[in-house]
Amino acid sequence: MVLIRAEGLVKTYRAGEVEVPAVKGVDFAIDSKSFVAFVGPSGSGKTTLLNMIGCLDRSTAGKLTVMDTDVGKLDRRAAADFRGRHIGFVFQDFNLIPVLTVYENIEYPLIMVQDWPESKRREQIARLLEAVGMSGQEKKRPDQISGGQKQRVAVARALATNAQLVLADEPTANLDHDTAYRIIELMKKMRDELGTTFIFSTHDPKIMSEAEVIFQLEDGRIHRQPLPQPQPKVALHA
Ligand SMILES: Nc1ncnc2c1ncn2[C@@H]1O[C@H](COP(=O)(O)OP(=O)(O)OP(=O)(O)O)[C@@H](O)[C@H]1O
Ligand SMILES: [Mg+2]
């Protein structure tokens, strides 16, 4: 089943008189439950594309359908509502709330968006903490855990509301290679267990090769799409 479809999608930023073409007419389809990477050099349009899919920004032209919704037609409020209901985000710099505990960080979207009763929240958070390997750490604050652990919490937070889609813009950029690799493996495990579609962007070829579908961006265009399964898994601990 197709979860996301882009047809002639264009994004041009306007900075005063200057127009910056960031995405120059791309077409792609992403199936539900897939594990996808957007790769490409700096400035190639990865963040711009992810922001449009995540309803954080709107296209200039073309059509973008996410879960049967024409997201280009949503106004600000409807976009925020759609995002809260259907999409989870993982960020490069983790974006955990420093004054909240691990538990409270995962709980936050449940209170803000879904307003679940406390017992249901507790159950969901315990399940997610276990799934991301952070059980027993729930009382710690972000400054008491490592970068890799912070990103595990961020993955749990992204999944808290049972989002069908998680977008991760360079989720491994601030992690050492082994930790980065484990975070990607964790996301893949969550995809396997929950059927959540994950789209991440990266510069790292080894991380990229963990994806099942790779969209190669270059200067606002998709270069080749989708590539077949790339090289065999790279042995990291040879
Ligand atoms: N808010 C903005 N205003 C004007 N131009 C922008 C804006 N955001 C991005 N751009 C431009 O759009 C193009 C695509 O940028 P984008 O951030 O999507 O690239 P990227 O592939 O995510 O790069 P990186 O790997 O450095 O994160 C670049 O030319 C960039 O300078
Ligand atoms: Mg970017």
List the CATH number of the domain containing 143: 3.40.50.300
Closest ligand 1 atom to 220 CA = 14
Using one digit for the tens of pLDDT, what is the confidence trace for 154-173? 999 999 999 999 999 999 99
Task: Classify residue 3: in a domain, yes or no.
Answer: no
Ligand 1 pocket, residue 161 CB under 6 Å: no
Q: How far, in Å, is the centroid of ligand 1 from the Cα of 42?
A: 8
Element (H, E) at 157: helix 147-159
C-alpha of residue 45 to centroid of ligand 1, in Å: 6
Decide whether any atom of ligand 1 lies within 6 Å of the 121 Cβ: no
In this prediction, residue 143 carries a pLDDT of: 97
The dihedral through the CA atoms of 128, 213, 41, 58 has a sign that is negative
Residue 18 Cβ contacting ligand 1 at under 6 Å: no
Only one residue has tokens 């963040």, namely 47
Q: Which candidate, 91, 97, 81, places its Cα nearest to that of 161?
A: 81
Query: What pLDDT sits at residue 203?
Result: 87
In a domain, 196, yes or no: yes
Q: Provide the pLDDT for residue 92.
A: 95
**Cα 56–58–63 angle (5° rounding)?**
125
Quick one: pLDDT at residue 228? 52
Ligand 1 pocket, 40 CB below 6 A? yes
CA 1, distance to chain mean position in Å, is 19
Q: Does some domain include residue 17?
A: no
What range does the domain containing 146 cover? 34-57+73-213
Residue 223's pLDDT is what?
A: 84
Q: Does a structural domain hold residue 209?
A: yes
Q: Is the CB of 147 under 6 A from ligand 1?
A: no
Would 64 be classed as within a structural domain? no
Our answer on whether the CB atom of 20 is closer than 6 Å to any ligand 1 atom is yes
> What per-residue confidence (pLDDT) applies to 233?
52
Global pTM?
0.93
Considering the domain boundaries, does residue 174 fall inside one?
yes
Where the chain has pLDDT below 50, the residues are 225-227, 238
Nearest CA to ligand 1 atom 6: 13
The number of folded domains in the chain is 1
Q: Per the domain annotation, does 229 fall within a domain?
A: no
Q: Whose CA is nearest to atom 28 of ligand 1?
A: 43
**Domain presence at residue 236:** no
CA of 20 to the centre of ligand 1 (A): 9
